[in-house]
């Protein structure tokens, strides 16, 4: 049984991320105790099939002994090395070089962070510095996508375009602007990929013209929008947006915090469309969640302009105690080895059609209006009326009902408040685990459908 005093201590003292405080006090935590491969165990001894890789990060699966070994070895040898005062450590240098070797060719320099939010924050800070170094301080406006998620730092959360990250936080800032999400299921042009891409391009051009051609610093986007409900734009969308930014003379920043490290098939989603971003943010799959680490990669042109702007003596004032942490870096190197030599990328690519088909097969379920995926990143969208794509009324709290039913079925995925269900299984998933996932998922949806309020809401 779960330890009641632990639960009580959690309720009293631990603030959970993006959680309703009062609801959590009532509900209490589900304490996780162990993990192996795609499986988690909770303190009540329940075995849970994790179809969300923790928080879209444990791409290798849990319990990879070789990661534990390199972490232990690095901890014993040198648990910490500052990057300040020109100190460094072997794993951090090797990891930076490895990322430059593997990432799009445009990216030549790496700044390590602790996660994704501070990678985005670093991007914003370096971009501001860059334009001032170029003598263009008026280029201080930022554009991102509706439904985009770029973390929850005090400025980056304004590039995030999800209402709960703004409400009562004084965001977005006047310098933060949005264009429509490339959301095929709900976009007026959604049925025709080329029309949707053209609409996004036209909207970006119009937004830049509205703000002033010399005012926009950068456009930020995710190749597949994760926390916004797993919105999968058509193939070619990312390239079209990148080409448009180049043409408009604004920086193109790709946030691959979720899509990086094999989540959508290739190591980086940019690869699939030959996109060469000016900056790229990474985290999650970089260390597969075994230790905190993120990264900001930038082009040589940006790096050189910042270096010139600083001159020969003044430091560029951006830093963190744990930037380039040697234990996280050693883990990152081993995780990268597992993606390639350990066969994880190949397995994920081989399993992706099964994952896609499994989601599509659920389109026959009365609750499911849309199924979409790229690689091992996917979603189902629940609606009350398939013809009109009507979302569930918020008062029904469909996400809570789905979450409870999923717990009963022993499966973990993300039920968003708007009726989207997000999936990001680890890259080590076997065929048998996918079969079990889809059995449990159908059973979960059936349980929800048994509820009279839910059935009555369907038209
Ligand atoms: C695309 C994207 N950017 C940034 C972040 C923020 O990363 P972190 O939670 O590590 O700060 C996330 C987290 O989910 C993300 O999905």
Tens of pLDDT, residue by residue over 256-285, are: 999 999 999 999 999 999 999 999 999 999
Is residue 26 a part of any domain in this protein? no
For range 345-361, the mean pLDDT: 98
Is residue 154 a part of any domain in this protein? yes
| Residue 84 and residue 180 share a domain | yes
Is residue 424 a part of any domain in this protein? yes
| Residue 55 and residue 70 share a domain | no
Residue 152: pLDDT band by 50, 70, 90 thresholds? Answer: very high
Cβ pair 225, 418 in contact under 8 A: no
Q: What is the pLDDT of residue 190?
A: 76
Q: Could you identify the atom of ligand 1 that is nearest to the CA of residue 156?
A: 4
* Interatomic CA distance for residues 271 and 259, integer angstroms: 11
Domain termination residue (choose one: 317, 340, 363):
340
For range 62-74, the mean pLDDT: 98
* Interatomic CA distance for residues 360 and 58, integer angstroms: 24
pLDDT tens by residue, 207-217: 999 999 899 99
Domain residues for the domain of 95 are 66-340
| Residue 308 and residue 202 share a domain | yes
Question: How many helices, marked H, and strands, marked E, lie in the chain?
Answer: 16, 15
Q: How many Cβ atoms from other residues are within 10 Å of residue 189's Cβ?
A: 17
| Residue 176 and residue 96 share a domain | yes
* Interatomic CA distance for residues 355 and 104, integer angstroms: 27
Q: What is the pLDDT of residue 1?
A: 56
For range 123-136, the mean pLDDT: 98
Domain termination residue (choose one: 307, 340, 373):
340
Residues above pLDDT 70, as percent of the chain: 100
**Distance of CA 120 from the midpoint of ligand 1 (Å):** 8
**Distance of CA 116 from the midpoint of ligand 1 (Å):** 4
Pick the residue whose CA is nearest to atom 8 on ligand 1. 116
Residue 3: pLDDT band by 50, 70, 90 thresholds? Answer: confident
Place of tokens 């400025």: 155
pLDDT tens by residue, 290-346: 999 999 999 999 999 999 999 999 999 999 999 999 999 999 999 999 999 999 999
Q: How many domains does the chain have?
A: 2
Q: What is the CATH number of the domain that holds 270?
A: 3.40.640.10
State if pTM tops 0.95. yes
Ligand 1, from 18, 115, 414, 416: best to mutate by most atoms within 8 Å of Cβ? Answer: 115
The strand ranges marked E within 21-155 are: 32-36, 39-42, 47-50, 107-113, 141-145
Helix (H) or strand (E) holding 420: strand 420-423
**Distance of CA 173 from the midpoint of ligand 1 (Å):** 19
Pick the residue whose CA is nearest to atom 13 on ligand 1. 151
**Distance of CA 151 from the midpoint of ligand 1 (Å):** 5
Residue 2: pLDDT band by 50, 70, 90 thresholds? Answer: low
Q: Could you identify the atom of ligand 1 that is nearest to the CA of residue 56?
A: 14
Average pLDDT, the chain: 97
Is residue 23 a part of any domain in this protein? no
Domain termination residue (choose one: 312, 340, 368):
340
Three-class SS state of 225: strand
Q: What is the CATH number of the domain that holds 37?
A: 3.90.1150.10
Residues above pLDDT 90, as percent of the chain: 98
DSSP classification of residue 299:
E
* Interatomic CA distance for residues 204 and 380, integer angstroms: 28
pLDDT tens by residue, 392-442: 999 999 999 999 999 999 999 999 999 999 999 999 999 999 999 999 999
**Distance of CA 413 from the midpoint of ligand 1 (Å):** 17
Task: List ligand 1's pocket residues with C-beta within 6 A.
Answer: 115-117, 120, 149-151, 222, 226-227, 255, 257-258, 283, 294
For range 244-262, the mean pLDDT: 98
pLDDT tens by residue, 156-199: 999 999 999 999 999 999 999 999 999 999 998 877 999 999 99
């Amino acid at each position: 049984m779960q330890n009641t005093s632990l639960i009580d201590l959690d309720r009293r003292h631990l603030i959970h991320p993006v959680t309703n405080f009062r609801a959590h006090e009532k509900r209490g935590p589900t304490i996780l105790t162990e993990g192996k491969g795609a499986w988690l165990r909770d303190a009540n001894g329940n075995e849970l099939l994790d179809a969300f890789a923790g928080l879209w990060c444990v791409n290798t699966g849990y319990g990879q002994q070789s990661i534990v070994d390199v972490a232990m070895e690095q901890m014993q040898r040198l648990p910490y090395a500052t990057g300040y005062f020109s100190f460094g450590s072997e794993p951090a240098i090797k990891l930076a070089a490895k990322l430059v070797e593997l990432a799009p060719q445009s990216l030549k320099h790496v700044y390590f962070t602790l996660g994704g939010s501070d990678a985005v924050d670093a991007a914003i800070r370096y971009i501001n510095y860059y334009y001032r170094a170029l003598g263009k301080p008026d280029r201080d406006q930022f554009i991102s996508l509706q439904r985009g998620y770029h973390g929850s730092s005090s400025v980056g959360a304004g590039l995030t375009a999800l209402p709960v990250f703004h409400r009562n936080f004084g965001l977005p800032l006047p310098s933060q602007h949005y264009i429509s999400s490339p959301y095929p299921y709900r976009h007026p042009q959604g049925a025709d990929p080329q029309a949707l891409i053209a609409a996004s391009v036209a909207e970006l051009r119009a937004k830049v013209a509205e703000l002033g051609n010399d005012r926009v610093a950068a456009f930020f986007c995710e190749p597949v929008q994760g926390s916004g409900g797993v919105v999968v734009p058509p193939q070619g969308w990312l390239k079209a947006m990148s080409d448009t930014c180049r043409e408009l003379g604004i920086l193109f920043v790709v946030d691959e915090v979720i899509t990086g490290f094999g989540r959508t098939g290739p190591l980086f989603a940019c690869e699939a469309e030959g996109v060469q971003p000016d900056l790229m943010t990474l985290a999650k799959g970089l260390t597969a969640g075994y230790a905190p680490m993120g990264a900001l990669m930038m082009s040589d042109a940006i790096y050189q302009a910042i270096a010139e702007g600083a001159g020969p003596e003044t430091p560029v004032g951006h830093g963190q105690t744990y930037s380039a942490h040697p234990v996280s870096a050693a883990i990152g190197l081993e995780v990268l080895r597992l993606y390639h030599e350990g066969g994880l990328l190949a397995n994920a690519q081989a399993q992706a059609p099964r994952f896609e088909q499994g989601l599509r097969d659920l389109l026959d379920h009365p609750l499911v209006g849309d199924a979409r995926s790229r690689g091992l990143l996917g979603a189902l969208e629940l609606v009350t009326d398939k013809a009109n794509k009507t979302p569930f009324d918020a008062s029904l709290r469909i996400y809570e009902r789905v979450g409870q039913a999923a717990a009963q079925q022993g499966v973990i995925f993300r039920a968003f408040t708007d009726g989207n269900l997000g999936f990001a299984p680890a890259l080590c998933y076997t065929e048998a685990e996918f079969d079990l996932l889809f059995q449990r998922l159908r059973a979960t949806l059936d349980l929800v459908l048994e509820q009279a309020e839910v059935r009555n809401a369907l038209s």
